[in-house]
């Protein structure tokens, strides 16, 4: 294919990618370097049904001119990235300087909102992703070996967790783990501990979210591996049987190496998805014990009456950088293999 032909085929995709991916990211990056204008305040009196109080209000006439002059806001450079709600560089310097030992440094850094969210996000990503791959593979192998008339219904039920919308799925489970719900009550009975509450303890909340994550994503890995299993070359399998390999050895030495590229694909997708964990935190009302980077963006935009666009944009950019760092090893590995084959 000539370069000209190649361009003719690729330009619609390139255009769409530029419009819908590159431009929004650039605009978010631009936004993250601006903050609101300094508000010009006037002292006023506010009166209402409950009496009058002296208050301050924004001076509209003065602000109108400032806003017209520079509608994007006040240039702040990278200061939003380094403030105490994000990377908190000044705070960390101070913590390192004034703490007595490593444990204190760790505890104080983990109390900063960004790092608190980051540690949960990373824990979730690195615990859920491998478990999803393992469980997805096991389900795929099991389903592949059941009689064919059962396969349809079993596949359908295995896929259900993925079909359910994350928010709805987590809400359903949230009610089930309530101490009056079927799972919560059973656990209390099982451990003979009437005060056991999956919602209250930070540790158990984390575990609940991890379990939910595996439950929700395992079907995705299952589908991919199941499709892969259909293409495992039967002659290789048969020759391994002739060589006397048992079932485990067939899986270990024939199926697994064959499916490895698929595992890389699943790992890539899951790392990206899990790093952006958000809905379960809302669904499980888990924000007391677990916050994620996406949750920080949500609170910046939704909790306050006045959204903090600059802060949300900075967290978004940090999330993108985080995803890139996470994916780099996997991408490098893929590129190396590609070069070797070529």
Partner 1 sequence: MKFKLTTALVACGLAMSTTAALADCGIEGGSVRILSNDFEALHVIADAAKTCANDSVEVTSNATTEHKNIQVPALTTNPASYTVPIVATNSIVPLLNEDLIRPLDAYVEKWGQQLLPQQLIKVDGKVMAIAFMANAQHLFYRKDILEEHGIAVPGTYAELIEASKMLKDKGVMEYPLAANFKPGWNLAAEFVNAYLGTGGDFFKAGSAELDIDNANGMKTLETLKAMTNYMSPDYVTYDTNGVKPIWEANELAFVTSWGSRASAYIGDDSPAPEIAKATALAAMPALMDGGVPSAALWWDGFTIAKNISDEDAEASFRAMMKGISPQVIAENQELAVWLVDGYAPTPAADGVVANLQGKARPYPMVPYMGLLHTALGDNVIEYLQGSESAEQALDDITAAYNTAAKEAGFLN
The residues of the shown chain that bind partner 1, judged by CB under 8 A, are 35-39, 41-58, 60, 63-64, 74, 76, 80, 83-85, 91, 111, 113, 178-180, 195, 197, 199-202, 285, 287-289, 299, 302-306, 308, 310-311
- Three-state SS string over the chain comes to CCHHHHHHHHHHHHHHHHHHHHHHHHHHHHHCCEECCCCCEEEEEEEECCEEEEEEEECHHHHHHHHHHCCCCEECCCHHHHCCCCCCHHHHHHHHHHCCCHHHHHHHHHCCHHHHHHHHHHHHHHHHHHHHHHHHHHHHHHHHHCCHHHHHHHHHHHHHHHHCCHHHHHHHHHHHCCCCCHHHHHHHHHCCCCCCCCCCCHHHHHHHHHHHHHHHHHHHHHHHHHHHHCCCCHHHHHHHHHCCCCHHHHHHHHHHHHHHHHHHHHHHHHHHHHHCCCHHHHHCCCCCCCCCHHHHHHHHHHCCCCCCHHHHHHHHHHHHHHHHHHHHHHHHHHHHHHHHHC
- In the bound complex, what is the minimum distance in angstroms from residue 322's beta carbon to partner 1? 20
- In the bound complex, what is the minimum distance in angstroms from residue 168's beta carbon to partner 1? 17
Q: Which is nearer to partner 1, 41 or 172 (CB)?
A: 41
- In the bound complex, what is the minimum distance in angstroms from residue 133's beta carbon to partner 1? 31
- In the bound complex, what is the minimum distance in angstroms from residue 113's beta carbon to partner 1? 7
Q: Which is nearer to partner 1, 12 or 48 (CB)?
A: 48
- In the bound complex, what is the minimum distance in angstroms from residue 166's beta carbon to partner 1? 18
CA dist., res. 268 & res. 273, Å (int): 9
The answer to whether 301 and 312 are in contact (CB under 8 A) is yes
- In the bound complex, what is the minimum distance in angstroms from residue 276's beta carbon to partner 1? 20
Q: Which is nearer to partner 1, 161 or 310 (CB)?
A: 310
Q: Which is nearer to partner 1, 202 or 261 (CB)?
A: 202
Q: Which is nearer to partner 1, 111 or 246 (CB)?
A: 111
- In the bound complex, what is the minimum distance in angstroms from residue 291's beta carbon to partner 1? 8
Q: Which is nearer to partner 1, 85 or 240 (CB)?
A: 85
Q: Which is nearer to partner 1, 112 or 266 (CB)?
A: 112
């Amino acid at each position: 294919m000539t370069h000209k032909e190649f361009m003719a085929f690729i330009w619609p995709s390139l255009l769409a990618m530029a419009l819908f991916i590159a431009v929004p990211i650039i605009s978010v990056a631009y936004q993250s370097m601006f903050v609101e204008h300094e508000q010009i305040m006037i002292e006023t009196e506010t009166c209402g049904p409950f009496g009058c109080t002296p208050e301050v209000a924004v001076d509209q006439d003065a602000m109108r001119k400032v806003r017209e002059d520079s509608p994007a806001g006040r240039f702040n450079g990278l200061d939003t990235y380094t403030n105490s709600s994000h990377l908190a560089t000044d705070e960390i310097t101070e913590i390192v300087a004034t703490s007595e030992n490593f444990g204190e440094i760790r505890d104080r850094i983990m109390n900063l909102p960004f790092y608190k969210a980051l540690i949960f996000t990373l824990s979730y990503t690195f615990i859920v992703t491998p478990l999803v791959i393992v469980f997805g593979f096991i389900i795929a192998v099991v389903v592949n070996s059941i009689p064919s008339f059962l396969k349809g219904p079993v596949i359908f039920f295995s896929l259900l967790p993925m079909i359910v919308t994350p928010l709805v799925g987590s809400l359903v489970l949230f009610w089930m783990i309530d101490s009056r719900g079927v799972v919560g009550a059973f656990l209390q009975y099982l451990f003979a501990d009437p005060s056991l509450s999956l919602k209250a303890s930070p540790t158990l909340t984390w575990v609940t979210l991890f379990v939910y994550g595996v439950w929700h994503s395992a079907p995705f890995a299952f589908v991919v591996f199941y499709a892969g299993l259909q293409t495992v070359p039967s002659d290789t399998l048969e020759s391994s049987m002739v060589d006397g390999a048992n079932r485990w050895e067939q899986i270990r030495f024939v199926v697994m190496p064959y499916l490895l590229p698929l595992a890389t694909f699943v790992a890539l997708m899951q790392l990206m998805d899990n790093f952006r964990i958000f809905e379960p935190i809302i669904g499980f009302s888990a924000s007391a014990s677990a916050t994620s980077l996406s949750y920080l963006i949500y609170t910046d935009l939704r909790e306050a009456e006045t959204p903090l666009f600059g802060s949300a944009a900075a967290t978004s950019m940090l999330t993108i950088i985080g995803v890139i760092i996470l994916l780099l090893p996997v991408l490098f590995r893929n590129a190396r293999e590609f070069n070797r084959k070529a």
